[in-house]
Amino acid sequence: MRIAALTDLHGKIINFKRILIYKPDAIVVSGDITHFGKDLKIIDYLKYLKEKENVKVLTVPGNCDTEESITKLNELNINIDEKCIEINNIKFIGIGGSNPTPFNTPNEYTEEELYNKFKNAIKGMKKEDLLNNFILVTHAPPKNTMADRVGGNHVGSASIRKIIEEYSPSLVICGHIHESKCIDKINNSYIVNPSQSSFLISDIFDKDGKVWIKSIELIDL
């Protein structure tokens, strides 16, 4: 299975044809799809990709996405915030919004609330069945990684990091921090923040009940 992932569009219609050249089975957008609810046409374009290009579209809202934009994502059935969905035997778990920021943006949560989003998404599942066996899609990056750096500070989510350390997702797709484009790792979990300047292409496969990352690459938009 091939996935493409991008983040922090903030309403901008990018050249999706450049992404479609890679023939992804799914396109993942990890938040801040709109800019405070403006430029909702980007969501219409995601609808086009889903319905006309025969590609799965998965999203989580970011801290700058408003209730109106989140409602539109829900209507298209592409919002996986606080959900676990499965494509080609591979689980995707979503956590939208961010930990608190200095800017009082519309879609922020306490660390406890972010952690509970994950627990709600996996309700009824056994931890041993999840270990190394899912892809985590978040807007907020995990704290103290290459993905959450602003100047000399690390501003990511402690709860997202805790989830990664406890449940070992094979891949974490995040965003939020525009200047922290990276491929990093926490133990065996790949952490990818494509930033606004690139998109991720990753080939993944399911083997013996585990998700394996065959390839992982950031490509400039």
pLDDT per residue over 120-134, tens digit each?
Answer: 999 999 999 999 999
Q: Which amino acid is at 110?
A: T
What are 15-57's pLDDT values in tens digits?
999 999 999 999 999 999 999 998 899 999 999 999 999 899 9
DSSP state of 141: P
The CATH superfamily assigned to 2-220 is Metallo-dependent phosphatases (3.60.21.10)
Collapsing DSSP to helix, strand or coil, 203 comes out as strand
φ, ψ (nearest 5 deg) of residue 220: -65, 140
What whole-number percentage of the chain has pLDDT above 70? Answer: 100
DSSP state of 49: H
pTM of the model: 0.97
Burial of 30 (0-12, 13-18, 19+ CB in 10 A): buried
Terminal Cα-to-Cα distance of the chain (whole angstroms): 21
For 21, the token pair is: 């050249």
φ, ψ (nearest 5 deg) of residue 210: -125, 150
Collapsing DSSP to helix, strand or coil, 60 comes out as strand
Region of 75 please: left (phi>0), alpha (psi -120 to 50) or beta: alpha
What is the domain partition of the chain in residue ranges? 2-220
Q: Which residues share a beta bridge with 133?
A: none
DSSP state of 147: G
Which residues of the chain carry a pLDDT beneath 70?
Answer: none
